[in-house]
Structure 1
Amino acid sequence: MGLASTLFRRTSSTGHYDSTWIQYFADEKKNHSFTVLSELKDAVWDKIQPSYLESLTTSMSNRLCQVMRKFEGPSSY
Structure 2
Amino acid sequence: MLPKPQRKWPTIEKEALAIYYCVLRMKLYLLGREFTVYTDHCPLRDMQLKPSNNRRVDRISLILQQYNIKQIH
Structure with higher RCO (Cα < 8 A, 6+ apart) = 2
Q: TM-score, normalised by structure 2?
A: 0.28
Higher CA-based Rg: 1
